[in-house]
Structure 1
Amino acid sequence: MNHCRPYNEGETLKDGFDTLDAFTRLHEGTGTEDDFLRVSAALNVALVRAADIDQKLVDLIAPSHDVMNALRERYEQTKLMRLSPEEIAPVGEALSYAQTIMDASSPQQMLEAHNTVTRVQAEQARTKAKEKSHAG
């Protein structure tokens, strides 16, 4: 029953600060793959929760996913984990929405959203592996 209650005031602060620290490193060009994964995870979970709340909220968060996908592709080529100046605002705004969503959600809702993200990513990995095995 404890998971169904709202978060207590300040309970999500450390997680939020850690995510903002990772975002700052991505902004400054000192980001790591772990920073990328942390920010991406926060955005993915927020997008799933947003879908349960309001389509307008989804539309506000969605551009950050395009940015993170572009960053991943660039990193694969350059090995530099850095957001470009025009990419900073969409990700920063989406992280602000993500924190608001987390603060307004219960731990159970966030866990369910995280589980959805994990399930979708596993399905995508299986599909990619099948495509690769059929292509080779």
Structure 2
Amino acid sequence: NLDYAKLPCVNHPVFKGKDVNYDPREVFVSGLFKEKGINNVFLEFYHSLVQALFKAKVSKNVYCVNIDAVIAVILLKIVWTDFSGGKLKEEDIESASFATFLFGRMIGCAAEIDDHTSRGKNMDTRTPASKCSYVG
């Protein structure tokens, strides 16, 4: 629908409809960051943004910060010093962004296929966020 603008990295077609919405994948990663003492100013920005959109009555509820934001803010944290120091061009960041999102999606596709083959053919094979764990 081209009648309205969408903001990247906020809101989600599934994780919506509550007064305050959360993408459980982002909640999981945010929890890991907190547990490990990792600060990410870019992720803090997105959390401030969804609150500000609601406060300014742009949204009728607090949108979730979605998994695309998690991917974006991790990449930004990795490249920001070099980018702001002029060692990387905007085109470099754009290329890295596409590659990073592609890798994330491909890992998701592989995990989905593994779910189907190891758990049977039931198409609703999502793993609840409460059953996910950090493997790094």
For the aligned pair, the TM-score class normalised by the smaller chain equals: 0.3 to 0.5
Higher relative contact order structure (alpha carbons within 8 Å, sequence separation ≥ 6): 1
Q: TM-score, normalised by structure 1?
A: 0.33
Q: TM-score, normalised by structure 2?
A: 0.33
Higher helix share: 1
Larger radius of gyration: 2
